[in-house]
Amino acid sequence: MPHGAELSLPVLMLIVFASAKLFSEVFERLGLPGLVGEILAGMLIGPSILGWVRPTPILTDLSELGVLFLLFRVGLEVKSSELLKVGGTAFLVATVGVIVPMAMGWGIMRAWGYGQVESIFVGAALVATSVGITAQVLSAKGKLHEKASQIILAAAVIDDVLGLIVLAVVSSVAKGNFQMVDVALTAVLPITFMVVLAKWGSRALRHALPAMESKLQASEGQFHLAIVLLFSLSVMAMYSGIAAIVGAFLAGMSLGEVVGRRVHTLVHGTTELLVPFFLVGIGLKLDISVFKDRSTLVLTAVILLAAVASKLVGCGLGALQEGWREAMKIGFGMVPRGEVGMVVAQIGLAMGAISQNVYGVVVFTALATTVLAPPLLNLAYRQTQPVGD
């Protein structure tokens, strides 16, 4: 089988999509989350095992589109009014869920004998939550409207801003030129962007969208406007300093109570096509060679355990007022680090702040938490379901 870079686009899409759906079907029949099967399909066909497909620019692009549409679809199912109601709890969950992982990551690396800056970078990589996987699990289970799910989604959005601030501080410390004013300015724009959209986005579109749609001749005009808004807010989110997926989520949330069911159906179909590329892309990047060195293997296991425990404890403590069962759901929902942890690791490596060895540990941990989150969430939600559900 030739390398992924030599495959034509139809062949590449056939291998990735078919293997993802085959593994998803197998896992669903076994009573396990199908998306874990899709991630493992990426591991199997990727460089770590069979080597049929390698990460390529086109697969990266399809993966990014997949996660954008995933968060857009989730946003369509969420009411901004409901999300704002849990804002106080979500802020507490996000804040404690940043402090605990940061402290644990830094402490473990220092105890292992690593330097101050390298330890801080590892702590920072454990901070931010990647909500794509959690959103997919909750959506598939039809649990998006539960209070715990609302808190998870709101906390993950806040978490992205807090993670941005932590990264700004850590990068400044690594460069030796920490400036409090720069950090404050880094926070202002994304916070303003998120608050304005969450509070007034839906209200503004309820008036603007019908007026714009009435001027269009195309049969799917409302869908076209929705997609333009999706990409517009994704771009605005990027330029304000936060992840594009936050903009996609806020776009969906703004439109959820405005657009008709036809738009929901078309977005769902597009998402079903693209999300497998996001999930397989995670598996393609998993490098199992990190386990060759015994010391690195042990460190990876300890950091991975801390990554799960720190979110369960930190976010769970923030949500304890909701009861321990709800706190457990929220803690597990905030576990996946995904691409967020990888970005921090890449910045640290590019700056020379972390070694290649530590980079491998962080990347594996970020992706392994993504694989672990669905079964953990299944466990948490199953315990609260009535028998026979």
Specify the CATH number for the domain of residue 281: 1.20.1530.20
Q: What is the mean pLDDT of the chain?
A: 83
The average pLDDT across 233-261 equals 83
Please report whether residue 387 resides in a domain. Answer: no
Residues whose CB falls within 8 Å of the CB of residue 174, separated by 6 or more in sequence, listed in order: 117, 120, 121, 348, 351, 353
Residues whose CB falls within 8 Å of the CB of residue 119, separated by 6 or more in sequence, listed in order: 105, 106, 107, 109, 110
pLDDT tier for residue 5 given thresholds of 50, 70 and 90: very low
83: which 2 tokens? 């999300």
The whole-angstrom distance between residue 309's C-alpha and the CA centroid of its chain comes to: 18
- CA proximity to 337, closest of 186, 160, 166: 160
Please report whether residue 27 resides in a domain. Answer: yes
* Per-residue confidence (pLDDT) for residue 384, from 0 to 100: 54
4 has a pLDDT exceeding 50: no
pLDDT tier for residue 185 given thresholds of 50, 70 and 90: low
pLDDT tier for residue 157 given thresholds of 50, 70 and 90: confident
Percent of the chain with pLDDT strictly greater than 70 = 90
Please report whether residue 389 resides in a domain. Answer: no
* Per-residue confidence (pLDDT) for residue 52, from 0 to 100: 92
Residue 241 sits in which domain range? 4-382
* Per-residue confidence (pLDDT) for residue 209, from 0 to 100: 81
* Per-residue confidence (pLDDT) for residue 3, from 0 to 100: 47
The tens digit of pLDDT for each residue in 199-242 reads 787 778 877 887 787 777 778 888 999 999 999 999 988 887 77
Check: CB of residue 42 under 8 Å from CB of residue 284: yes
- The total number of residues shown for the chain amounts to 389
The tens digit of pLDDT for each residue in 266-321 reads 999 999 999 999 889 878 877 777 677 788 889 989 999 999 999 999 998 888 88
* Per-residue confidence (pLDDT) for residue 287, from 0 to 100: 72
Q: Comparing 290 with 6, which gets the higher pLDDT?
A: 6
- Can you tell me which residue has the tokens 């690195």? 296
Distances, alpha carbon 116 to alpha carbons 108, 124, 156, 228, 360, in Å: 11, 12, 28, 45, 18
Please report whether residue 82 resides in a domain. Answer: yes
Q: Comparing 238 with 262, which gets the higher pLDDT?
A: 262
Please report whether residue 98 resides in a domain. Answer: yes
173 has a pLDDT exceeding 80: no
Domains identified in the chain, total number: 1
* Per-residue confidence (pLDDT) for residue 25, from 0 to 100: 94
pTM of this structure: 0.73
175: which 2 tokens? 């460069």
pLDDT tier for residue 110 given thresholds of 50, 70 and 90: very high
The average pLDDT across 351-361 equals 81
Q: Comparing 39 with 183, which gets the higher pLDDT?
A: 39
23 has a pLDDT exceeding 90: yes
* Per-residue confidence (pLDDT) for residue 339, from 0 to 100: 64
Please report whether residue 388 resides in a domain. Answer: no
Please report whether residue 201 resides in a domain. Answer: yes
- CA proximity to 193, closest of 137, 238, 237: 237
Please report whether residue 298 resides in a domain. Answer: yes
